[in-house]
Amino acid sequence: MPAQTQTATLADAIDIGFLDLAKSEFFITPGGFTGLRYKGAEHKRVSLRRALPIGSPGSYISVADHENKEIGIIKSIDALTGKQLEIVTAELGHRYYCPEISEIKSVKDKLGYVYMELTVIVDGKKHAKNCAVKDVNRNIRMLDSDRLIIFDVDGNRYLIHSLEALDKKSLKRLEPYLF
C-alpha cells in the first residue's frame, strides 16, 4: 500500500467528524422536530446527545439522524449564534431535563421502587414534582463528595448541587439511599 494511501486511511480512521458549523443549518420542522441541513443533505429529524453531560454540557454534542447514524459532532455550542444556538439549546434542554432539587418532602419505599415528592427549581421557579426510582444503587449516584444525581423510571435526571446546602429534613430522608 502506498504511503499516501496509508496516511489517508489512518486519518479517516481517527477522524472525529466535527461538523463544519459554517455549512450547517439547524431548523424546526412543521411537526416541531429539530432538523439539519448539512453537506447538501436535509435531515428532517436529528437527535442531539452530550458526550459529557455533567462535566462539559456545552461541548462534544453528537448529532445523529432518525436512524441514529451519527452525522457529526458539535465541538462547542459556543460557536453557534442566534437562532442556531436557540434551536440546539432548546433540543438539548428537552433531552436533558435536569432540574435542581431544593427539597425532598417525602420518600417512600414500595415494591422495589422509591417514590419521592420533591421541590425542584426550573428557570428560577420552584415546582412540586413526584418521581419513582428503581434500583437505587444504580440510579442515585454521587457525582463527587457533595453533588448527587437521581435518575427516575422515566429517564429524567434530578440534580442536588450541594448535599451540604440541603435542609436537614431532606438530607435525613435521603440518607438511607446514599452509598
What does the pLDDT look like over 35-70, one tens digit per residue? 999 999 999 999 999 988 777 889 999 999 989 899
Q: Residue 12: is its pLDDT beyond 60? A: no
Res. 8 pLDDT band, cuts 50 70 90: low
User: Does any domain span residue 3?
Assistant: no
| Residue 37: per-residue pLDDT | 95
| Residue 36: per-residue pLDDT | 96
Res. 93 pLDDT band, cuts 50 70 90: confident
Per the structure, the complete domain to which residue 82 belongs is given by 10-95
Last residue of a domain, one of 77, 95, 113: 95
User: Does any domain span residue 5?
Assistant: no
Mean pLDDT of the chain: 88
Q: How far apart are CA 105 and CA 49, in angstroms?
A: 32
Same domain, 39 and 66: yes
Last residue of a domain, one of 55, 79, 95: 95
Location of C-alpha cell 428503581: 134
Q: Residue 5: is its pLDDT beyond 60? A: no
Q: Residue 133: is its pLDDT beyond 60? A: yes
Same domain, 81 and 106: no
Higher pLDDT, 160 or 54: 160
Q: How far apart are CA 140 and CA 171, in angstroms?
A: 13
Last residue of a domain, one of 62, 95, 128: 95
Per-residue 3-state assignment (H helix, E strand, C coil) for the chain? CCHHHHHHHHHHHHCCCECCHHHEEEEECCCCCEEEEECCEEECCCEEEECCCCCCCCEEEEEECCCCCEEEEEEEHHHCCHHHHHHHHHHHHHHCCCCEEEEEEEEEEECCEEEEEEEEEECCEEEEEEEEEECHHHHEEECCCCCEEEECCCCCEEEECCCCCCCHHHHHHHHHHCC
For the ranges 3-12, 76-85, 94-103, 116-125, which has the lowest average pLDDT?
Answer: 3-12
Q: Residue 9: is its pLDDT beyond 70? A: no
| Residue 2: per-residue pLDDT | 53
All three cell numbers of 124, joined, read 428560577
Per-residue pLDDT tens over the stretch 17-29? 899 999 999 999 9
User: Does any domain span residue 1?
Assistant: no
How confident is the model over 134-145, as a mean pLDDT? Answer: 91
User: Does any domain span residue 82?
Assistant: yes
